[in-house]
Chain A
Amino acid sequence: MAPRLEINGLSKFFPGVRALDDVSMNVEGGEIRALLGENGAGKSTLGKIVAGVYSRDQGTVLVDGAEIGTLDEKAAGDLGIGIVHQEGSLVPQLSVAENIFAGRQPTQWLGQVNVRAMRDQAKALIAQLGVAIDPALKVSGLSPAQAQIVEIAKALSRDLRILILDEPTAALTLTETEKLFDVVRRLAGNGVSVIYVSHRLAEIFSLCHSVTVLKDGRLAGTRRVAETSTDELIRLMVGRDVHFSRSAAGRKIGEIVLEAQDLDAPPLVRSASITVRAGEIVCLAGLIGSGRSEFCEAIFGARRRHGGSIRIGGKAIDPKGPWDGKHAGIGMVPEDRKAAGLFLGMDIVNNVAATVLSRVSSGANFSNRKAEALARNFVDELRIATPSVRQIVGNLSGGNQQKVLLAKWLAMEPRLLIVDEPTRGVDVGARSEIYRLLRALADKGVALLVVSSDLPEVLALADRIVVMAEGRTVGELPGDGASEEQVLRLATRYTASVAEVRKQPGMAEA
């Protein structure tokens, strides 16, 4: 008999990136298959192609032996393929029942929605999952776990054959996760094939039958869960050929600049500590959702902090907002360049001047001359490719935008510079140049705290690597000689121990 889902030679290209490269896999009916991989390995992309969210560029997809042509989300739904997105796809203002039957509500005369029938059907669907949620409730009043279950019920409202779950437990507590797992097991027991996208190893071992590992968009291997180990899976996830060279020259590392202790900024930062010295590059590694960016925001003052202490150059600070962090000499290059970093509609001069308005002024007057001179300096120093300093930043390439963003923070001459994902959406050429810039900064004695999800980047840049998991700093490695495997082990070990806690009955929720 043909497998439920058969994927052959699947490839997907995004501009400048090969997200999936010749991936093949088979999934049987009733099987729970994990898709495992590092951040950016292509696991979500694969799930979204099967669900018709993205189109494929090459390869074939067969469902129960029948080849399927071009697929959109609706066609996939008609085929019995459902997806529960990471972000969620429910309308919070509408009821559970309306969400489940979005666009397909049962009607009575004159096209009126038959509310009673809709609610009854919704209730029956949810009951199939072994849970009770009132279908008349608004989705905005549900817990994240209940919302996930409603999403699954929505997929179930059609004749479901394949269910794709994309990082479903990211926002769930321990008992909620267990409840979700029960639902998934029950579905698989009824013959539904489940593709479970996750990077949490522990969950895979407690839930899945088999696991397919992706690495840089390629198939790294498929194993039966019963016959594999954490070590083997980590080995499959890492070990790439792309390596950026470390700088050979030893740097002079000075006094402690940042000392943050037991920072608590719920829900994402629970207890995080770090020190960064002058002239040192410390990389903050960890899985997505481990609280790295949030930890940095708390240090900078962009996120409310409930506990813990921050010292800059030995002096305690209590930043109430980014202006306080800036005043203490901290700069922060945010992860989302377009939404949080740049003024895309303004020119380079104004973008660079944004953090140093007082320095480019004479008295109360903003001085265009001074601001232009400052911008021109940075355009030369950082080799920003632009026809003029009056160029609108939105018209520059990603790499050059990233350099303008760096310039904006270099202009204030920070003692500590936090850089969140320094090379996201930047091509390889600009990448090594940004590494060069960051190293040059450290050489000048700036303390650098770099958040990165890109392990080769971490290994190339870091003097020291601090690893976060579940909102806590869980380990530290020297940058020299560290391997991707060691970093991943630290980042996942903690989730593994959480899973052990989950198995103990009567354990209170964290």
Chain B
Amino acid sequence: MQITQPMAETAERRRENLFVRIVRRLADSRELTLFVLVVALALAMSIVYPNNFPTASNMRAVLLNLAPVGILVCGMMLLMIGGTFDLSVGSTLAFSGVWAAVVAGWWGWPAEIAVLVGILVGALCGLVNGLIVTRIGINALIATLGTLTIYRSLTYVTAGTGVTPITDAFAAYGRAADPLFRIQSPFWAMLVLVLVGGWLVARTRFFRQFYFIGGNPRAAQLSGIRVDRLILIGFVIMGALAGLAGVLGAARLNSAVVNAGVGIELKVITATVLGGASLKGGEGTILGGILGVLFIALIENAMIINAIGVFWQGLVVGLVLLFAVSLDRFKTSGRA
């Protein structure tokens, strides 16, 4: 008795430790946490809704719908790693889409040129954001809040009620689907961007500098990193990605809608933070960001299948976000 008592205690402590260790391990890697959550959610939904969730058409719809947010998350993650962000992405998206449609639909230029114009318009919007933030030195929140309004207004000025229809050649850019899964091009564009972007941000020396900038901008500057120039480049990339998302969205609908992308910035930032970015900067990966997008997409899908309706969506996504961020408190690597 006297011998077994302490042994039983030790075993119990070991079990506790194992549990704590698992929680810690999960909390340490946001990507792992999210991955487990996404898989668990997908499994649960497959079991609960075997007729609605794991069907080809539902999968296609989910993957296609998350494409624009997924494209934007790549850029937003880069900016947030560098300690800044862009609220104007939704307006940039609409403005670029409308310009591409104007060039193709009204002016009758080739679809290729229109696609290029759309992306360039987006990049230009990003450049303006970046110049305001780095040269004038206005805080990113205020600067991009301003351009959010400005770009949306310019969209209305350019095309009043939108451009519908555009041209079939242009629409093909958003509608082309692969023969096997029959998923349309926005998803494939997103997939390529996530893979290439994920590799670039995780592995290359150039993009690694963003982690230093976000970690401590002053130390980065004094280490000889060109902080302002890199942040400017980050904004241009963000703008170009928003432009691409806008072009693809307009092409898929064969219609440039002036209200495209309203409110998408908050969805993108939610997914980015859920994916491991912090407002202070210096942390996050593209992989985490895309898992965040996937997770939110699954929750939305569950709501739709369940016919709970969109009213509850925000509640669930908000709770999950708060939960994920509070997990950081358990991090082993952080200081108490």
Please give the residue numbers on chain A whose beta carbons come within 8 Å of chain B beta carbons, in ascending order.
Answer: 300, 302, 321-323, 325-327, 332, 334, 339-346, 350, 354-355, 357-358, 360-361, 364-366, 392, 394-395, 408
Contacts and interface: CB of A to CB of B under 8 A. Distances in A.
A392 B208 CA distance: 17
A340 B216 CA distance: 7
A323 B224 contact: yes
B65 interface: no
Interface of A is mostly: mixed
B224 A364 contact: no
Contacts of B206: 364
Contacts of A340: 216, 218-219, 222
A326 to B, nearest CB: 4
Given A343-B215, A365-B203, A354 B335 contact: no
A343 B212 contact: yes
B282 A334 contact: no
Contact of B212 (A354, A361, A395): A354
B224 A325 contact: yes
Interface in B216-231: 216, 218-226
Q: Which 9 A-B pairs have the closest CB atoms?
A: A326-B224, A343-B215, A361-B205, A323-B224, A354-B223, A366-B205, A357-B205, A340-B218, A364-B204
Interface string B308-326: 0000000000000000000
B222 A341 contact: yes
A343 B219 contact: yes
Given A343-B216, A345-B282, A346-B282, A365 B222 contact: no
A341 B216 CA distance: 8
Contact of B222 (A302, A361, A364): A302
Nearest to A332: B222
A321 B226 contact: yes
Contacts of A355: 223-224
Given A345-B215, A358-B205, A322 B223 contact: yes
A125 to B, nearest CB: 37
B335 A366 contact: no
Interface of B: 203-206, 208-209, 211-212, 215-216, 218-226, 282-283, 333, 335
Contacts of A354: 212, 219-220, 223, 225
B205 A323 contact: no
A338 to B, nearest CB: 9
Contacts of A323: 224-226
21 contacts: A302-B221, A321-B224, A322-B221, A322-B223, A323-B224, A326-B224, A334-B222, A341-B219, A345-B283, A346-B211, A346-B215, A350-B211, A354-B212, A354-B223, A354-B225, A355-B224, A364-B204, A365-B204, A366-B203, A366-B205, A394-B335
Contacts of A364: 204-206
A357 B208 contact: yes
Contacts of B215: 343-346
A280 B283 CA distance: 41
Given A326-B223, A339-B219, 5 more contacts: A322-B224, A340-B216, A346-B212, A354-B225, A358-B205
Contacts of B226: 321, 323
A492 to B, nearest CB: 31
Contacts of B224: 321-323, 325-327, 355
Nearest to B199: A365
